[in-house]
Amino acid sequence: MATRTAGGNAAFHNFHNDYAHIADPNERRRLALAEIDKAPFGWYHVRAVVVAGIGFFTDAYDIFAIGLVTAMLGVVYWQTAATKRGSIPTSADTAIKVATSGGTVIGQLAFGYLADVVGRKRMYGLELMIIIFATVAQALASSSRSISIVGIIIFWRVLMGIGIGGDYPLSSIITSEFATTKWRGAMMGSVFAMQGIGQFAAAIVTLIVVSGFKQSLMTASSVATCSGVCQLAVDKMWRVIIGFGAVPGCIALYYRLTIPETPRYTFDVSRDVVKAGSDVKAYMAGKAEGVTDEVMRVQGMQEAPQLDIPKASWADFVRHYGQWKYGKVLLGTAGSWFFLDVAFYGLSLNNAVILKQIGYASGKNVYEVFYNTAVGNLIIVCAGAIPGYWVTVALVDTVGRKPIQIMGFTLLTIIFIIMGFAYDKIGGKGLLALYVLGQFFFNFGPNATTFIVPGECFPTRYRSTSHGISAASGKVGSILAQVLIGPLRTRGAPPGSTASPWLNHVLEIYALFMLCGLFTTFLIPETKRKTLEQLAGEVPGTPEYDAELAGHLHRKMSEQGSGSSPANMGEKAV
């Protein structure tokens, strides 16, 4: 039993004394985590979701905005090109977009690993600093004799991608470990749904900026003739659009830097029992962190070896995932995310076709071209993506993660089969309808659940690393879609043509990837309304229970080896 300490008042509660009467550190851990799991939904949950969600808002804004900005770069830097004046070459456009995905893979793996090694709190905020710095640098970038604009933009977007990648495991894990069990899926889904709001904001900001330079843009009839004041206006426009992405990040940075360490990490990895117990109470009271008695904290650290849960190590990592029942879960989360992102980024190949169908692909002058593009993308985002995200938030804790993912992959397989094999028969309106349905079932389906499940189904000591591996697999799939599969759509087209004669076959390929994603979904567990400790196999009497993983087998053998019994140990404690 820990000694009670003096001090504390209504303003500065003595959190240490709340668990001072608990002698067993394992019982202290169980009671403290149960408070988080069973806590009623409150403002501290809203704060965690908003702080994490603003990061995803920024991520989505930066990724989506570049699709609108590359057309403007073409006007500014390719106005004197020999062919297709005012248009960015396809190779340069692809390289700029893929650069972000490449950096994201690095960030997901690096930040995922480091968050398990040095802690969530120490890494949280660092990734946002990288995003802010790289975003501002892009907005100020320009070409010179020694480096092209493509080269400098790629450099900064790789760096920005590293920050964006770091946000995936950190925001997911921090939200998961602070969430109440009943609404954990909705909280994590709300964080991820901010991607839709970020895409919406990118289109809105573009619309505002284009409207602000209306008079200058109307002086040119096409991008090929946009020079003088028109070209100067476009150069200012793309910098404002990119630079605005740093604003929400700056707002969220302070709150990320002051968020407390998750009690689960403090218990299971840092093994600081006293500090973790105090942090639980502080978090629920709206405080930054618990204030502990340092003498009692040192004594608690000396008791830490008595904790049942295993310590993290490379040997333990290999042993843990070397078992099929745990390795298959990582294979399921990583595989599902990989197959999803191949087709998710593939569907965006239809943007030009969809914009043309709804009448937002051209205009009488440069102003109308950019204005229609912004409005068209706004319609696309609002039609399918945003509703899909929030339907997931509403249903994920009642329907479950696995059924939503199975339903999503099944329907997307059917949608891509129809789009591919009946491409010439369904017409433009049919393609528009299927496109909107596809966007909806991506987000009310695997796009949301592949983010949620990896943040729940792994043990605390490897949760961030495993989420990073899963997310990185997805971004590898997106790179594959953009670099290898996507260019197949122009196979057989005349040089310089924008036709896509092979697009129907590419859509058929994506249908196969959706079918593969359906199969990998059967490897993941259902995590609905289960505590993180139950999913990690630590709770006796549950289907997931693993005595070795929970450390109970080791403790039992130790007790037998020392000749102790639970009764004798109780007598000694008394």
For residue range 437-483, what is the model confidence (pLDDT) as tens digits? 999 999 999 999 999 999 999 999 999 999 999 999 999 999 998 88
Range name among 38-42, 54-58, 90-94 with the lowest pLDDT average: 38-42
So what's the pLDDT on residue 553? 55
Q: How far is CA 116 from CA 58, 358, 479, in A?
A: 24, 47, 26
- 537 near 325, Cβ under 8 Å? no
Q: Which residue has the tokens 């949760």?
A: 463
Q: What angle do CA 84, 90, 96 make, to 5 degrees?
A: 125
The pTM of the full predicted model, rounded to 2 decimals, is 0.87
Asked if residues 80 and 95 have their Cβ atoms less than 8 Å apart, the reply is: no
pLDDT at 258: 82
Confidence of residue 504 (pLDDT cuts 50, 70, 90): confident
Closest C-alpha to 91, from 531, 487, 539, 494: 487
In terms of average pLDDT, the best of 8-22, 463-477, 554-568 is 463-477
| pLDDT-derived band at 485, boundaries 50, 70, 90 | confident
Rounded CA-CA distance 342/415 in Å is: 15
**What's the mean pLDDT in 509-513?**
94
Q: Which two tokens stand for residue 414?
A: 């059917």
CA–CA distance, 256 with 369 (Å, rounded to integer): 39
Q: Which of 483, 377, 442 is nearest to 105 (CA)?
A: 483
Position 2 scores a pLDDT of 46
The answer to whether residues 94 and 485 touch, using CB atoms and an 8 Å cutoff, is no
Q: Say what the pLDDT of residue 3 is.
A: 45
Rounded Cα–Cα distance for residues 98 and 63 (Å): 10
Question: Greater confidence, 565 or 87?
Answer: 87
The sign of the torsion formed by the CA atoms of 100, 106, 108, 111 equals negative
CA 525 to chain centre: 20
Q: What is the pLDDT of residues 441-454, one digit of tens each?
A: 999 999 999 999 99
- The three-state secondary structure class of 543 is coil
Rounded Cα distance, 341 and 334, in Å: 11
CA–CA gap between residue 240 and residue 5 (Å, rounded)? 55
If you count them, how many residues does the chain have? 574
Buried b (16+ CB within 10 A) or exposed e, 145-176: eeeebbebbbbbbbbbbbbbbbbbbbbbbbbb
Mean pLDDT of the chain: 84
At 490 the pLDDT is 76
